[in-house]
Structure 1
């Protein structure tokens, strides 16, 4: 990341990544003759990091797509991920929800300044601070003041994310936790400050945004998501909940330093904040969609609040400005107890990158960030060479 990465990381990494602190892989900046060879090298270097078993990388660069899978999904057993592997993308799910909300705003179904209580059946006087209500824009920009997770005990568990007990404790909390439980607990939420002023990451806010979308479109969130992405991005293999057959395609994964594979992320009431599952080819389609520059994409990445000249939030997208190498770019991290991933959209190079590993620990995010930076450096070097060639022609 850029020199302000510590400040930005505190603001935009998901709660499941709160303990991801230490550095990962590095690489040289000399570009290979073929970009695919660069990606191969970066992937190979990434899985050399401690505890990382495998990785998949998707790159769309100036219209051309690359996919690479490296390593073994299960430690000690030959078998790399494939194009058919379903990955849990954690909080990258939020960018999908943001896209749906941008479409709803453009269609006039929702207004950014709507009081969210317009879309709730019960009275929630607690969802305001001294008369200032939580609005739709506050959900999207993590400035609502809502807690990160409901129920409250999930936040306690996540303070020690790398503890080997964490996946099991999360499973127990969410085993029978549905929408009715969410709305019950929402009555107990307390807003500590005026909404819209301070960043405080909130998966609760994303789940509530999914409810708003269900209300205005009168359909369940997963059907809404799959229908929109199929029509707009050609993405037909996106899931929130899996059938038994689909579950067999789900990537095996490891939590922290536990050598035993762990269970999937538990199902949240709507799943909008962290339950999406996709294949890498589907993420290529998502990268193409994000690079297309259509009206919904443009709206979804419009800054709703600026925290400083280098960092803003759109419709759940993190917007980093002024980076010497990357320019202005859009990014999000995703993490669950057995996988972590990043998506980067870099208009400066007409470039989209998706990286995922099937391990989730305190070094994983930094390792992926270093891999992405190496890739961008290689592409930047490639463009400098191409620019010199054009000048000499």
Structure 2
């Protein structure tokens, strides 16, 4: 879905130069209006949004979690953030690079037991940088059958089929299947989205730090960002707080995303207040964030990839920004980091269909347009 990130904004604005801060008092009303409009879209039952703008944080929850039953999500609601999980894995890998636990140019086979001659093309191995930039040539998912299931994502049978595939599929199964992968081209050249690559990155992190991935993630987030509620696996009490969600146009709530071997590519759960802290951490731009935002591959003048981050330039309204989409069978979300406005946005819905991402993109675009207009009126430098 990364292509959806690059739709040109309908409004292009310019502004003068001054150091004055723009008025923020009306931003809450703008967020209210944007979220209200978002849940008017077909099939969308509810939404939550977090916005951090020039140091001020806003959270909004709107709609009914269960269709037809009053009850909005809350700050305690745990959401499945899907592939936004990859940006967390990228952050951990950036930390490992800075600490010299790994090198971007390491052959991934350095961290695997046994022989994997197949993880190379004409003598060029898959390197860690190729996993982070989706240029490894690995398939999207392992086992390979999952890619067939996901080819018709909106079919009502998809969640059930995924659950069956991953019911007893663990790390050993993944590493065994990795022996059967065929790399079709030179690594580092072509973009091909790979959740399997993120799972392999999590395995490498476990080897580098001799600790399980979830413990690494939770410890880093607690110590560096103050995020204490992030989970991959849930206990019974936490599972009771997991957001209800809907797949495609099925009116019956569906099951959560099944557990992947490491969970790094799509199994993270978080509350919206925790995502506010994540936005603040990204906007603060410390060493780990700066490294994770560093372009590893430029595909054209307007699109490059960092440590799993999509990096978009050439948008006159947004400036250079960092974004990622997340989707599982019963929720979809986006995160945007826009340094031009000192702005971070996280938006999530508890419905997952073929039009959900576009609806959220439109909501974010509207919000950015309003902030840009406010800054222009205030004479803030753009």
2:200 corresponds in structure 1 to: 208
Rounded Cα–Cα distance in structure 1 between residues aligned with 2:71 and 2:195:
34
Contact 1:139 1:206 (8 Å CA) reproduced? yes
Supply the RMSD in Å over aligned alpha carbons.
1.8
2:244 corresponds in structure 1 to: 252
2:3 to 1, 5, 9: 9
User: Scaled by the length of structure 1, what TM-score is found?
Assistant: 0.92
Rounded Cα–Cα distance in structure 2 between residues aligned with 1:116 and 1:57:
37
1:243 to 235, 238, 244: 235
Rounded Cα–Cα distance in structure 2 between residues aligned with 1:177 and 1:345:
34
1:86 corresponds in structure 2 to: 78
1:167 correspondence with 2:159 = yes
1:152 to 144, 154, 168: 144
Any idea what SS the aligned residue of 1:69 has? strand
1:176 to 164, 168, 177: 168
User: Deviations 1:93-146 (Å, cap 9, x if unpaired)?
Assistant: 000000000000000000000000000011100000010000000000000000
2:266 corresponds in structure 1 to: 274
2:370 to 350, 375, 378: 378
1:133 to 125, 138, 141: 125
Which runs of 5 or more residues in structure 2 are unaligned?
14-22
1:56 to 48, 52, 68: 48
1:199 corresponds in structure 2 to: 191
Rounded Cα–Cα distance in structure 2 between residues aligned with 1:97 and 1:291:
18
1:318 correspondence with 2:336 = no
Any idea what SS the aligned residue of 1:274 has? coil
Any idea what SS the aligned residue of 1:60 has? strand
Rounded Cα–Cα distance in structure 1 between residues aligned with 2:94 and 2:200:
15
Any idea what SS the aligned residue of 1:238 has? coil
Rounded Cα–Cα distance in structure 1 between residues aligned with 2:273 and 2:378:
28
Rounded Cα–Cα distance in structure 2 between residues aligned with 1:134 and 1:157:
26
Which runs of 5 or more residues in structure 1 are unaligned?
1-5, 14-20
Runs of 4+ residues over 6 Å off in structure 1? none
User: Scaled by the length of structure 2, what TM-score is found?
Assistant: 0.94
CA apart distance, 1:33: 5.5
1:284 corresponds in structure 2 to: 276
CA apart distance, 1:324: 1.0
Rounded Cα–Cα distance in structure 1 between residues aligned with 2:24 and 2:351:
28
1:35 corresponds in structure 2 to: 27
Rounded Cα–Cα distance in structure 1 between residues aligned with 2:180 and 2:35:
46
CA apart distance, 1:385: 1.1
User: Deviations 1:280-311 (Å, cap 9, x if unpaired)?
Assistant: 00000000000001010000010000000000
Contact 1:32 1:38 (8 Å CA) reproduced? no
